Amino acid sequence: MGAMTASARRRVLLAAPRGYCAGVDRAVITVEKALEQYGAPVYVRKQIVHNKYVVQTLEKKGAIFVDETEEVPEGAIVIFSAHGVAPVVHDEAAQRRLASIDATCPLVTKVHKEAKRFASEDYDILLIGHEGHEEVIGTMGEAPERIHLVDGPEDVAGLSVRDENKLVWLSQTTLSVDETMETVDKLKERFPALVSPPSDDICYATQNRQVAVKQLGADADLVVVVGSKNSSNSVRLVEVALQAGARDAHLVDFADEIDEAWLEGVSTVGVTSGASVPEILVEGVLEWLAKRGYEDVEVVTSARESIQFSLPKELRRDLRAEAQAGTTTASSPSGDA
């Protein structure tokens, strides 16, 4: 540790809101409830949420994570992740007579519905998002021949559309607001008739966590964001912290990934966590910091969140019995599972 002046009080600014959003909470509880209700194994297509610890914890309880629907044995239960899936995935599940539980976040479902509606009205859709992200793949699957991916402002120049007067933009829910608007502004320059979606697609939780980290970033020498590398909203929080004036910012899954060298000459540490991060991981980081003299924790609250989503309706039925009987979907052939 570098020499620190006596006046430089070591403190932690803890962001609120942080951590679990309603969609993640719902998805994780869905897997836990399915395991309770139907017993292990329950299969989950892709990571239920983008967090290492959550996935490991659910695996210990009997969840089996697979990349593709075809890896799930016929007649088994499969849960679709919070990021949503393309319609073709539902078809694959029906063909394999899988009992599917859809844990897609309702805010992602809203974007899917908008994509379907605009495609049916013969619009070309410009989807702002990151190539290869599961949410983007799922949304694009709703109308692949109508949706063009725009992965940042630099993609705008190369776009070709059928009719510049029938264009709408939608976006991945976990982007940063600033990043999205920069792309939208660029799109509007090129396509003045571009229609905006009826409501903002950036999810309330992504937005709130970014506003909170902006407040921290302005006052922190170092910002520690708890989250996984494949979590889009967590990665954005590091970027937003740096843009807001933090001298340094890092993403860690666990406290033991923090490098003591980061604390060199640091009096104020900002701490926050992505929307798929359980609070136990944040507590681990606070304990780690406290052991190194950062015991004074001040909560910086920028919003209050009270939103909750009800659990998927499939959890209210005996899916396993239906799967065995081959009655979970209208198209299921009956017979032995």
List, by residue number, the catalytic residues.
135
Q: Cα–Cα distance between 188 and 248 in angstroms, integer?
A: 34
Q: Cα–Cα distance between 276 and 311 in angstroms, integer?
A: 17
Q: Yes or no: say if 152 and 180 are a contact pair by the CB < 8 Å rule.
A: no
Task: State both tokens at 303.
Answer: 């919003």
Q: Cα–Cα distance between 174 and 203 in angstroms, integer?
A: 7
The label of the residue with tokens 């920028």 reads 302
Q: Cα–Cα distance between 247 and 267 in angstroms, integer?
A: 12
Q: Cα–Cα distance between 190 and 170 in angstroms, integer?
A: 16
Task: State both tokens at 138.
Answer: 């799922």
Q: Is 315 helix (H, G, I), strand (E, B) or coil?
A: helix
Instruction: Fill in the amino acid letter for 156.
Output: V
| Alpha helices (H) along the chain | 22-38, 52-61, 87-95, 106-120, 134-140, 177-190, 204-219, 232-243, 279-290, 319-325
Number of H helices, E strands in the chain: 10, 12
Residues 6+ apart with CB under 8 A from 41: 62, 63, 64, 76
Nearest by Cα to 28 from 18, 40, 39, 20: 20
